[in-house]
A = this chain, B = another copy of it.
């Protein structure tokens, strides 16, 4: 079980290091990430390395039995690099070349950057390939920098040539017949820079795909080099989540030995726990596509705070531990934090840390010590696997496509829709994987498509096969409306799924910000409604008011051995939860424990005949959950019911 966080000894004099290592030992830290932003210290001048300080701290850590996730520092080139290679600084959509002075000031398509990155990675691999502390390679940090420069333009054109082969195909995919954009020479194509009015949406979409692939290539280059040096040491990079990130993480999963995510919820209240569960199940979904084990790692989270729009909310006592166990419950191989020790200065000087500015005589460090103890106690559960029979599809290209301008509503948000679907299940205690649009669906009883807008033919075919084989599909509005090039499948929405769902949608009726629509079953929807014709499906609920009164709103279609539901509006949370609960029940899938109080989260990890029931009580009152076995946290025997205090946790193991 990994426990620890980002550790930046280069920010401190060496006399602090001894205290650090002692404090880590006291807290049972097992892994620290070292070197993430240390390029300027490791290579103070081109090709001249200074590894002395890193040698000393790695030795100290090894002596203390603490593993190291050794980072390549390539997310932040040093000042000397940017001065020598201004062409490797990123350029924004308006053509502004950014300056050094923050982090991530690199262009992934700049040869000078790529070669300097390979050089420092190789130097680290050569020096530390056999260091006893080395437990994991941590490549770069939060890949996510978009650039619009001329070097990027060249790389984009190469990528497009590879994707489309010839210009006719590209012109067709991009619908360049619209607005006189027909290309007759590859050289005419550029990244989507600032332009007069609406950009070409497929150009924008492909540019994000390209950026993802270009960053992935930069990662793979380093990974290959590290793998060659240390075949036995796993290599990963930490994914950053957020809708600004131009990375299709599902495609990256195949290239990492361990899916690692950084998770920073945005809500100070209970919604943070739902966000965290979503992120965990998303990571687990990605890990299904990874060559390694099905678990994953929460590589970064803030120990003691939640970033909201206007402030840093300090976590309530005990919340850090409960959040950590919740991640482990959902398959994380441990709990890692940004960061070990709070810095004195720099851009993130108030970011939370296990050793805060106040020092170890502090609640947060004391809670870290307790957490280290708890993680050690629950280590056996790491053998268990989380089993989910329900999948929620989150397809990053669809999310990107629905962020285009000039769509029927400015509030379309596939990520939010996926979170809503997941939240509906979470609130009913049903464990779900969040999977990518191209992932294998076998093994699932229920699949939810929350606005899966872009759909290639093979994806539609896979969904049909899933249903025909007895699967239960729930698709919501906009799923399957477009092909992979963001072109509408004409003849009636949702083109790719029309037959499977047994409906034909004639028109969209997006709703105003404050509007909602009633359904015949007493529920309500908002954001969206549609003129739905049932062409085979049975009408489950109709619109009860407005211009669509009497027309189908929710339908169900029997296909082969399965059923395909269509939901044409955005159901209110409770109604959505009821619907998904009912569909799951039809599919023979139930909650981990029925009738839990709101805010009590329960997940099982299982292997063979052994299982571990994680109970996370996010509420302010004690709760009781049916369980038998031994609570790993307390060592107490549980016989029938485990009582979990307000804000507390239990991990009941059996077998």
List the B residue with the shortest CB-CB distance to A177. B11
Mark contacts of A25-53 with chain B using CB atoms, 8 A cut-off: 1 yes-contact digit, 0 otherwise. 00000000000011111001100000000
A314 contacts across to B, CB distance below 8 A: 507-510, 547
A197 contacts across to B, CB distance below 8 A: 102-104, 347
Q: Please state if A39 and B180 are interface contacts (CB–CB under 8 Å).
A: yes
Separation of A514 and B194 alpha carbons in the complex (Å): 38
A634 contacts partner chain B, Cβ-Cβ < 8 Å: no
Separation of A310 and B342 alpha carbons in the complex (Å): 42
Q: Please state if B508 and A40 are interface contacts (CB–CB under 8 Å).
A: no
A183 contacts partner chain B, Cβ-Cβ < 8 Å: yes
Q: Please state if B83 and A188 are interface contacts (CB–CB under 8 Å).
A: yes
Q: Which of A90, A195, A405, A505 has the most CB of B within 10 A?
A: A195
Q: Please state if A487 and B344 are interface contacts (CB–CB under 8 Å).
A: yes
A210 contacts partner chain B, Cβ-Cβ < 8 Å: no
Smallest Cβ distance from A556 to chain B, in angstroms?
22
Q: Please state if A488 and B101 are interface contacts (CB–CB under 8 Å).
A: no
A654 contacts partner chain B, Cβ-Cβ < 8 Å: no
Selected interface stretch from A73-81, A372-380, A439-447? A73-81
Smallest Cβ distance from A589 to chain B, in angstroms?
35
Q: Please state if A11 and B178 are interface contacts (CB–CB under 8 Å).
A: yes
List the B residue with the shortest CB-CB distance to A92. B194
A7 contacts partner chain B, Cβ-Cβ < 8 Å: no
Mark contacts of A183-216 with chain B using CB atoms, 8 A cut-off: 1 yes-contact digit, 0 otherwise. 1110111101111111111110000000000000
A346 contacts partner chain B, Cβ-Cβ < 8 Å: yes
Q: Please state if B198 and A102 are interface contacts (CB–CB under 8 Å).
A: yes
A100 contacts across to B, CB distance below 8 A: 181, 188, 190, 195
Q: Please state if A184 and B79 are interface contacts (CB–CB under 8 Å).
A: yes
Selected interface stretch from A352-360, A381-389, A424-432, A610-618? A352-360
Q: Quick one: which of B344, B348, B405, B408 contacts A198, CB cutoff 8 A?
A: B348
Q: Please state if B76 and A179 are interface contacts (CB–CB under 8 Å).
A: yes
Mark contacts of A539-551 with chain B using CB atoms, 8 A cut-off: 1 yes-contact digit, 0 otherwise. 0000000010000
A312 contacts partner chain B, Cβ-Cβ < 8 Å: yes
Q: Please state if B181 and A40 are interface contacts (CB–CB under 8 Å).
A: yes
Smallest Cβ distance from A553 to chain B, in angstroms?
16
Q: Please state if B76 and A180 are interface contacts (CB–CB under 8 Å).
A: yes
Which residues of A, 102-151, contact B by the 8 Å Cβ criterion?
Answer: 102-105, 145
Q: Please state if A41 and B184 are interface contacts (CB–CB under 8 Å).
A: no
Q: Quick one: which of B82, B175, B193, B268 contacts A346, CB cutoff 8 A?
A: B175
A504 contacts across to B, CB distance below 8 A: 358
Q: Please state if A316 and B506 are interface contacts (CB–CB under 8 Å).
A: no
Given A178-B11, A180-B73, A347-B198, are A312 and B409 also a contact pair (CB < 8 Å)? Answer: yes
Q: Please state if A358 and B492 are interface contacts (CB–CB under 8 Å).
A: yes
A630 contacts partner chain B, Cβ-Cβ < 8 Å: no
Chain A interface helix/strand/loop/mixed: loop
A410 contacts partner chain B, Cβ-Cβ < 8 Å: yes
Smallest Cβ distance from A84 to chain B, in angstroms?
10
Given A99-B193, A344-B175, A531-B363, are A37 and B78 also a contact pair (CB < 8 Å)? Answer: no
Q: Please state if B178 and A345 are interface contacts (CB–CB under 8 Å).
A: yes
A362 contacts across to B, CB distance below 8 A: 506-507
A201 contacts across to B, CB distance below 8 A: 345-347, 349
A490 contacts partner chain B, Cβ-Cβ < 8 Å: yes
A185 contacts across to B, CB distance below 8 A: 79-80, 83
List the B residue with the shortest CB-CB distance to A486. B345
A420 contacts partner chain B, Cβ-Cβ < 8 Å: no
A10 contacts partner chain B, Cβ-Cβ < 8 Å: yes
Q: Please state if B350 and A407 are interface contacts (CB–CB under 8 Å).
A: yes
A485 contacts partner chain B, Cβ-Cβ < 8 Å: yes
Separation of A317 and B546 alpha carbons in the complex (Å): 12
Q: Please state if B311 and A409 are interface contacts (CB–CB under 8 Å).
A: yes
Q: Please state if B195 and A99 are interface contacts (CB–CB under 8 Å).
A: yes
Q: Quick one: which of B82, B98, B202 contacts A345, CB cutoff 8 A?
A: B202
A313 contacts across to B, CB distance below 8 A: 510, 512
Q: Quick one: which of B10, B199, B316, B512 contacts A101, CB cutoff 8 A?
A: B199
Mark contacts of A405-422 with chain B using CB atoms, 8 A cut-off: 1 yes-contact digit, 0 otherwise. 111111100000000000
A73 contacts across to B, CB distance below 8 A: 180
Q: Please state if A175 and B531 are interface contacts (CB–CB under 8 Å).
A: no
Smallest Cβ distance from A14 to chain B, in angstroms?
13
A598 contacts partner chain B, Cβ-Cβ < 8 Å: no
A174 contacts partner chain B, Cβ-Cβ < 8 Å: yes
A199 contacts across to B, CB distance below 8 A: 101-102, 347
Q: Please state if A77 and B180 are interface contacts (CB–CB under 8 Å).
A: yes
List the B residue with the shortest CB-CB distance to A412. B311
A513 contacts across to B, CB distance below 8 A: 310
Separation of A410 and B350 alpha carbons in the complex (Å): 12
A182 contacts partner chain B, Cβ-Cβ < 8 Å: yes
Separation of A99 and B187 alpha carbons in the complex (Å): 14
A183 contacts across to B, CB distance below 8 A: 79
Given A490-B357, A490-B359, are A346 and B40 also a contact pair (CB < 8 Å)? Answer: no
A200 contacts across to B, CB distance below 8 A: 101-102, 346-347
Mark contacts of A141-183 with chain B using CB atoms, 8 A cut-off: 1 yes-contact digit, 0 otherwise. 0000100000000000000000000000000001111111111
Smallest Cβ distance from A226 to chain B, in angstroms?
19
List the B residue with the shortest CB-CB distance to A316. B547
The 4 A-B residue pairs with the shortest CB-CB distance in the complex, in nearest-first order: A178-B346, A175-B345, A79-B188, A198-B347
Q: List 10 A-B contacts (CB under 8 A).
A: A11-B177, A98-B193, A98-B194, A102-B199, A178-B348, A308-B512, A311-B408, A314-B509, A345-B488, A358-B506
In the complex, besides A11-B177, A314-B547, 13 extra interface pairs with C-beta distance below 8 angstroms are A8-B177, A40-B180, A44-B184, A95-B97, A100-B195, A310-B513, A312-B408, A314-B508, A345-B485, A349-B406, A350-B406, A350-B407, A363-B506
